Structure 1
Amino acid sequence: MGILVQDVHYNYMWFALFPAVAFVLFPAGIALGASIIFGAAIVFIEFVLHGRAFWLKFYYVQEILIFYCFMVFGGYLYSKILEEHELILQRLATKDMLTGAYNRWKFLEDFESEFERARRYNYPISLIMFDIDHFKKVNDTYGHDAGDRVLKKIAKIVKDSIRKVDTLVRWGGEEFIIFLPNTKKEGAAVLAEKIRQKIEKANFDEVGKVTVSFGVAQIEKNDTIDDLLKKVDKVLYKAKREGRNRVEVAP
Structure 2
Amino acid sequence: MSVILQYSLWIDSVLLVIEVVVSYFLYRLFNQYFYTDKFKLIGVGISFHAVSLLLNIISYFFFTSISLNPIISTLDSLGMGFLLFGFYFMIKRLLHFSHIDHLTQTFTKRYIDRLFIEEKNSSGKRDKHFSIIFIDINHFKQVNNQLGHEGANEVLQEIAKTLQKSVRVGDKVGRYGGDEFIILLHHATEIDAELVLNRCRQSILKNDYLQLHNIDVSGGVATYPYDGKTIESLYKTADKRMYEHKKETKGNAI
Match of 2:243 among 237, 240, 244: 237
Shift >3 Å, 4+ stretches:
none
Per-residue deviation at 1:229? 1.8
User: 3-state DSSP class of the match of 1:163?
Assistant: coil
Q: Would you say the 8 A contact 2:130–2:188 is kept in 1? A: yes
Q: 1:123 to 1:148 in 2, by over 3 A?
A: same
Partner of 2:150: 145
CA distance in 1, matches of 2:96, 2:212: 30
**Aligned AA (2:103):** L
User: Are 2:102 and 1:135 equivalent residues in the alignment?
Assistant: no
Structure 2, unpaired ranges of 5+ = 1-40, 46-64
Deviations along 1:181-221, one digit per CA (max 9) or x if unpaired, are: 11111111111111111111212379633111111221234
TM-score, structure 2 normalization: 0.67
Summarize deviations over 1:101-160 as a string: whole Å, max 9, x none.
Answer: 111112112212322332342212111110111112122221111111111111111111
User: 1:77: which partner in 2?
Assistant: 82
SS at match of 2:249: coil
User: How far did residue 92 of structure 1 move?
Assistant: 2.7
**What amino acid is aligned across from residue 186 of structure 2 in structure 1?**
P
- Candidates 79, 97, 117, aligned match of 2:122: 117
Q: Choose from 79, 85, 91 the match for 1:86.
A: 91
The answer on 1:157 being equivalent to 2:169 is: no
Q: Report the counterpart of residue 21 of structure 1 in structure 2.
A: none
CA distance, structure 2, for counterparts of residue 175 and residue 145 of structure 1: 17
C-alpha spacing 1:165/1:155, structure 2 compared with 1 (3 Å): same
Correspondence for 1:198: 203
Structure 1 unaligned spans of 5+: 1-27, 33-58, 247-251
Once the two structures are aligned, what percentage of the paired residues are identical?
28
Question: Which digits, 9 at most, give the CA deviation of each residue in 1:30-67, with x for residues without a partner?
Answer: xx9xxxxxxxxxxxxxxxxxxxxxxxxxx955x22321
Give the secondary-structure state (helix, strand or coil) at the position aligned to 1:210: coil
Cα 1:181–1:205, aligned 2, differ >3 Å: closer, same or farther?
A: closer
Q: Quick check: 1:119–1:221 contact (8 Å CA) kept in 2? A: no
2:233 alignment partner AA: D
- CA distance in structure 1 between the partners assigned to 2:168 and 2:70 by the alignment: 54
Contact 1:146–1:207 (Cα < 8 Å) also in 2: no
Distance 1:87 1:207, change over 3 A: farther
State the SS of the aligned residue for 1:123: coil
| 1:239 Cα deviation after fit | 1.2
> Greater CA deviation, 70-79 or 192-201?
70-79
Secondary structure, in 3 states, of the residue corresponding to 2:208?
Answer: coil
Distance 1:177 1:206 in 2: 22
Matched AA of 2:92 = L
Q: Distance in 1 between matches of 2:190 and 2:241?
A: 12
* Bigger-Rg structure (1/2): 1
Q: Give the superposed CA RMSD.
A: 2.6
Task: Give yes or no for contact 1:138–1:207 (8 Å, CA) kept in 2.
Answer: no
